Structure 1
Amino acid sequence: MTDAPALRARLVDVLRADGGLTRADLIHAFATVPREVFLADGFHDREQGFLRPDDDGFLDAAYRNDALVTKLDDGRPVSSSSQPSLMALMIEELGVAAGMRVLEIGAGTGYNAALMAAVGADVTSVDVQPDVAARAAAALTAAGVGNARVRVGDGYLGAPEGAPYDRVIVTVGITGVSPHWLAQLRPGGLMVAPIAHAGNNPVLRVWTEPGDGRARPDWPARDDVWADGVCGAGFMAAAGPLGASYPWAHPAPVRADGPIVPTVRVPPRWRQPVDGLRYHDLWFAVGAWDRRATSAPFDGGTGCVLLDETRGGGAAIQADGAILAAGAHAESYAGDAGILLDRWVDLGTPGIERWRAAMVLSGEPEAPIYVPREWALVV
């Protein structure tokens, strides 16, 4: 199939079947905004390598429900066009609507901003990479989008010249929320952001108690900032203050050359493994209960691991309920993982959307961030 409108219609069908695309105005946006215009400099396809607009398969790949890497730095992805189903879910979760002012942190290709603009929002997108921002701005112009703009700058600072905003959307993996965004958000406004948790970046909905005061320039601690779980996800990690650590953070993901080889194997407890979304629900719960949880390669696959102090052992919980453990305390870690797995099952296998945490100030003293403190299940 080489006809762009037909490919857009096929993508809409996929997104509606996925369940994240339900609104008529956003359906129209996905059906009319030309994603290929925002990929004019090409992208890295997992099957065909780097594809440019004149290459065979470019258009078809551009309209798959995939994240597309558009920039590498020493082989590491540093910019991309997010998976369309995740874009749809985040825009719908945020309730972006006509007339709203939206601050976007991380411009990517500009496609996400164009979709929000197509439903009638006024979008200001900020990206720290000048070349990424320039390409996104050029693509918005080429696509005829007049109500979205791209600014080069430190995303941590937001874009005060366009404040106040009704919504904030973050499209890069962060460890916490900038107080500047809260200061630039209208009372009662909402934010969605992929915030680090147990080696992943699940999407969280951040909100404040109605009627409470706004953050002041000296960023005193507040007790009115909350985060709710939305869905599991993976994003490229931000650098600088938005990627700062804090005392109770989970261990950083393990990026080893080879997998950890287990010495203890607990058999699967389910004949049919849970699917990807449900596995992320389990992973989130494990991370909410145990600060040792992170992402690590274990016996050929990467997943949820209780990591020991050596970062070379611990226990992995797999999608079929099997537990693999290694290291000097493998038996003990396997037992702990089993207790956590039992707890999730006993509570009815709660999803990410069942979790809530207060956000507290931490990170670097000169550039603090609000991070989740203690997660609890909500009824």
Structure 2
Amino acid sequence: MTEGAALRARLVDLLREDGGLTRDDLARAFATVPRELFLADGFHAHDTGLLRPGDEGFLAGAYRNDALVTKFDDGRPVSSSSQPSLMALMIEELGVTAGMRVLEIGAGTGYNAALMSALGAEVTSVDVQPDVAARAAAALRATGVTGARVLVGDGYLGWPGGAPYDRVMVTVGVTGISPHWLAQLVPGGQIVAPVAHAGNNPVLRVWTRPAEGRAEPGWPAQAEIWAGGVCGAGFMAAGGPLGAGYPWAHPAPVRTPDWATPAPAEPARWDRALSGLRYHDLWFAVGTWDSRATSAPFDGGTGCVLLDETRAGGAAIRADGAILAAGGQGATYASDAGILVDRWADLGMPGIERWRATLVLAGDPREPVYVPRTWSLAG
């Protein structure tokens, strides 16, 4: 067995243990599609500098369960290869199978399209960055993938020339769902997309169902659009109409490392801190209940905060349930944050997958998107 094959087999074992990979056909795709060939220009991992083919650690790094940044613009990451466990979860959530036509918004390296093609799907991947699209297309050719194509275009518009699609896979953080994607879906088709919520981009599943007498501009009558949570995640944000704001949106994430110097306000609620996924469950719930929730740096990392009007203070929620306060209104915000954490605990700590919302048109009226309006717990 070659080193690459051994690393792929180990990645499959890891993804199965993680729980996001359950399908044997998708496991075979991960075991056979060479991720390193989709990283021909190198990558940046979170704890390394640039690694190129031939560098020590390149091959092993290519098969870590990590997102790998492949392009920067003015120091800001603008393209990457997503975390394999997240790819697996999103592909399984969509139920991609042989014979399906899939529209992918955001080509990345082309690796995700190659995995879906290995399942027998016909993939049309659209990316607004010509150089990213060219590299992804070249990688698909180099690996002999014939069931996927990469096109340069505005992801908001989808790709009507390939419609109708059975599924839409979105791999860039968006404010909402483009009406064009919905119009290009077959009846009963589904979308998975990382949609902005409380400073993150948790993955949502979007579907439609009949609604007697209801119509929205830009979408046919007799349809109601719903979203359900899938998992917590972070993605690079899209621009243009896919990144448009709306009146009830959460505050933008705080990017500066010196957001505040928060001080303990309430002690830990749990002896053991929540895992990353469970913390995102809490974060998501806080965001459904409080429009002040967003993301900010504290304790050497990034987490959920209630942000005050100055954006320089508020309250931060730790993974152990402790609350930190900062700024002149810190005590009030900390009290509010504590009430939200206790509410989540009292409800049995529901996961993201328990939440449902209807979607309504918002954003730029000329190029609107469907965004979640009111969230509620299902089941």
**Common fold by TM > 0.5:** yes
Deviations 1:86-120 (A, max 9, x none): 00000000000000000000000000000000000
Aligned to 1:148: 148
Mapping for residues 269-288 of structure 1, pairs under 5 Å: 269-288=269-288
Q: Distance in 2 between matches of 1:225 and 1:287?
A: 20
SS at match of 1:168: strand
Provide the alpha-carbon RMSD of the alignment.
1.9
Superposition deviation, residue 220 in structure 1: 7.2
Q: Distance in 2 between matches of 1:119 and 1:220?
A: 32
SS at match of 1:177: coil
Q: Distance in 2 between matches of 1:323 and 1:159?
A: 46
Deviations 1:137-182 (A, max 9, x none): 0000000000100010000000000000000000000010000000
Superposition deviation, residue 328 in structure 1: 1.6
Aligned to 1:38: 38
Q: 1:98 to 1:223 in 2, by over 3 A?
A: closer
Q: Distance in 2 between matches of 1:210 and 1:52?
A: 51
Q: Distance in 2 between matches of 1:51 and 1:271?
A: 39
Aligned to 2:158: 158
Aligned to 1:122: 122
What letter corresponds to residue 81 of structure 2 in structure 1? S
Q: Distance in 1 between matches of 2:86 and 2:252?
A: 24
Q: 1:216 to 1:359 in 2, by over 3 A?
A: closer
Q: Distance in 2 between matches of 1:101 and 1:216?
A: 26
What letter corresponds to residue 346 of structure 2 in structure 1? D
Structure 2 stretches of 5 or more lacking a match?
Answer: none
Indicate yes or no: 2:324 matched with 1:330: no
Superposition deviation, residue 301 in structure 1: 3.1
Aligned to 1:300: 300
Aligned to 1:106: 106
SS at match of 2:59: helix
Structure 1 stretches of 5 or more lacking a match?
Answer: none
Q: Does the aligned pair in 2 maintain the 1:187–1:211 contact within 8 Å?
A: no
Q: Distance in 2 between matches of 1:72 and 1:50?
A: 11
Superposition deviation, residue 263 in structure 1: 4.2
Superposition deviation, residue 49 in structure 1: 1.0
**Identical aligned residues as a percent:** 77
Q: Distance in 2 between matches of 1:67 and 1:357?
A: 28
Q: Distance in 1 between matches of 2:332 and 2:200?
A: 24
Q: Does the aligned pair in 2 maintain the 1:314–1:334 contact within 8 Å?
A: yes
Q: Does the aligned pair in 2 maintain the 1:182–1:215 contact within 8 Å?
A: no
Deviations 1:4-47 (A, max 9, x none): 11111010000011111111110110010011110011111333
Q: Distance in 2 between matches of 1:214 and 1:149?
A: 37
- Segments of 4+ moved more than 6 angstroms: 211-217
Superposition deviation, residue 298 in structure 1: 2.7
Q: Does the aligned pair in 2 maintain the 1:259–1:299 contact within 8 Å?
A: no
Q: Distance in 1 between matches of 2:282 and 2:254?
A: 19
What letter corresponds to residue 182 of structure 2 in structure 1? L
